[in-house]
Amino acid sequence: MKNIAVIGSGYVGLVTGTCFADLGNSVICVDINEERVHDLQNGIMPIYEPGLEEMVRRNIAAGRIRFTTSYADALNDTAKPAELVFIAVNTPMGVDGEAELRYVRSAAESIAKTMDHSLVIINKSTVPVGTGDWVSDIVKNTQPTPIPFSVVSNPEFLREGAAITDFMAPDRVVLGSLNEEAAQRVAQLYLPLRGPIMITDLRTAEMIKYASNAFLATKISFINEIANICEALGADVKEVAAGMGYDKRIGRAFLDAGLGYGGSCFPKDVKALAHMANVQGKHPQLLEAVMMINTDARRLIVSKVRNLIGNNGTHLNRLEGRTIGVLGLAFKANTDDIRESQPIDIIRMLQADGAKVQAYDPVAMKNASQLLQNVRLCEDTYEAIAGCDAVILATEWNEFKNLDLERMHKLMRTPVVIDGRNLYDPQAMSAAGFIYRGVGRGYATAN
Ligand code: UDX
Ligand code: UDX
């Protein structure tokens, strides 16, 4: 059992803290957002993550986790002084694509000002290579009196919607530090999970995170490029991905063609890696292509809508008089997160063409309503489908996978379905009377 403090109670910090508590540690989570802390103290979650609420409540009841806004409370509890402190604040995208580090700086400064005993400071946020050294300098320069500490990089690899499983059954745990003993102390925390633990230097650990996310993003852009070629040549990308995936060197994961990647990590991390390369005078050509293909994936969906139901207007009114239903607003299923959400981008493009949009998502509507204007947010799937000239399947929620096709057909003005997640079989949809377009499903509809 260790005493752990976690700074930042967002997706990463909250899942990390709760899982460590569940493993028997004593955890205190700090967040600057008072309302969030108050809610968490009462078992109310700030995010939708399957299984999280039950786990938080259970560990609050067992006295293994608590929430505070006070660094002193978290670090210097006399009964349980923290030995290890995780920084898990957000690192949003800055104006030039660089990672924005002001929250990490603020967390490092607060730790330095507050700590009254030796600590291991562990960075979980995705931060540019070299940030560990920078955090170390900040702490050293901010401490009122010198107290020993070490910095360890421990990047997170948690997928939203599957974060608890990803934490509890990691493919690997990466630890980077110039102080082997500090890295070993963090490694102890992960031993019960029985996953491989890799210890390396700070900068290499930070790079492993960026390289991993950039590689996964590259897989997605690769398959989207293949999908585009499939459409022109009449091949089916789903079968192509399955056929490729049997090769162990390739693997089937992250070869789903569709709307491209969204979310709080891939878009920001690929951009930040390219930015780091450019700053060093390198030319990240592959990363640039990955980003361009990703932007195109969203545009191609809108092109399909225009080709099927557009009128002959200029691009500003090509969808004037058309109503389009969008099923799904989150950037993927099982999350209410709409950061860099592809459906939201697509809705904006449709609106710019003059279309009326109505939409439904099982959990992301509240978040989406803050970003969208003039979109009719519907109570359920069929309300979003009713009266539409086309429906776009934009998020792969389970409840969109077995729609009542007869009911859907009757409700729509024209039975056009653009399946941005390749959830349906093209032949079956055709047989059910729909004009159906998936992504890369063997139709010459690329433009
Ligand atoms: C994380 C990572 O840290 C980021 O680097 C990674 O790439 C994606 O996931 P995330 O957990 O998604 O970020 O951030 P968010 O859900 O926005 O939560 C951050 C929390 O930190 C918020 O609750 C915020 O109030 C808190 N915070 C922020 C602090 O407590 N102190 C600060 O100074 C800034
Ligand atoms: C990602 C990383 O996977 C995780 O390790 C961590 O670093 C945080 O970032 P997350 O953003 O939660 O996780 O979602 P992920 O499941 O990786 O999907 C990212 C995006 O790619 C989603 O928009 C998803 O729809 C898209 N995607 C994923 C595809 O388009 N095709 C695929 O085959 C897989």
Would you state the pLDDT for residue 315? 79
The rounded Å distance from CA 440 to ligand 2 centre is 20
Atom of ligand 2 nearest to the CA of 253: 33
Can you state the percent helix, strand and coil of the chain, rounding each to 5? 45, 15, 40
Beta bridge partners of 391: 325, 417
Q: Which fold has domain 216-445?
A: Rossmann fold (3.40.50)
48 with 14: CB under 8 angstroms? no
| pLDDT score at 445 | 44
| Ligand 2 site-directed mutation target among 11, 254, 334, 339, most atoms within 8 Å of CB | 254
> From CA 270, how far away is CA 73, in angstroms rounded?
37
User: Which pLDDT does position 446 carry in this prediction?
Assistant: 40
Task: Report d(CA 142, CA 139) in Å as an integer.
Answer: 5
- Inter-residue contact 408 to 428 (CB < 8 Å): no
Cβ of 267 less than 6 Å from ligand 2: no
Q: What is the pLDDT of residue 73?
A: 96
Nearest ligand for residue 237 CA: 2
265 tagged catalytic: yes
Residue 442's pLDDT is what? 87
Q: Is the CB of 434 under 6 A from ligand 2?
A: no
| Residue 289 CA to its chain's centroid (Å) | 21
CA 31 to ligand 1 center in whole angstroms:
9
In whole angstroms, give the CA distance from residue 270 to residue 285.
Answer: 12
- CA dist., res. 123 & res. 105, Å (int): 11
Among the listed residues 19, 230, 265, 378, the single catalytic one is 265
What are the domain boundaries of the chain? 3-200, 216-445
**What is the 91 CA–ligand 1 centroid distance (Å)?**
7
pLDDT of amino acid 443: 61
The ligand with the least distance to the CA atom of 333 is 2
Name the phi and psi angles at 44, rounded to 5.
-95, 125
Q: Is 171:157 a contact under the CB 8 Å cutoff?
A: yes
Q: Say which amino acid occupies 416.
A: V
> Looking at the chain, how many residues does it have?
447
Same fold, 3-200 and 216-445: yes
Query: Residue 63 burial by CB count (10 A; 0-12/13-18/19+): exposed, middle or buried?
Result: exposed
CA 258 to chain centroid, in Å, comes to: 16
> Which bin fits 263, alpha (ψ -120 to 50), beta or left (φ > 0)?
left
160 lines ligand 2 (CB under 6 A): yes
- Sign of the alpha-carbon dihedral angle for 292, 293, 296, 297: negative
Q: pLDDT below 50 — which residues of the chain? A: 444-447
pTM for the full model?
0.95
CATH number of 3-200: 3.40.50.720
Partners of 93 in the β-ladder: 99
The whole-number pLDDT of residue 97 equals 80
Query: CB atoms < 10 A from the CB of 104, how many?
Result: 25
Q: Whose CA is nearest to atom 13 of ligand 1?
A: 90
Q: Is 158 in the pocket of ligand 2 (CB under 6 A)?
A: yes
Supply angle C-alpha 81, 29, 68, rounded to 5: 90
- Residue 6: count of CB within 10 angstroms of its CB: 30
Closest CA to 13 of 68, 80, 73, 54: 68
Predicted local distance difference test score (pLDDT) of residue 257: 98
- What is the distance between the alpha carbons of residues 301 and 82, in angstroms, rounded to a whole number? 50
For the four alpha carbons of 161, 163, 165 and 169, in that order, the dihedral sign comes to positive
Kindly report the CA angle at 37 between 32 and 40, in degrees rounded to 5? 150
Number of H helices, E strands in the chain: 17, 14
| Residue 202 CA to its chain's centroid (Å) | 24
pLDDT in tens, 47-97: 999 999 999 999 999 999 999 999 999 999 989 999 999 999 999 888 888
For 403-416, write each residue's pLDDT tens digit. 999 999 999 999 99
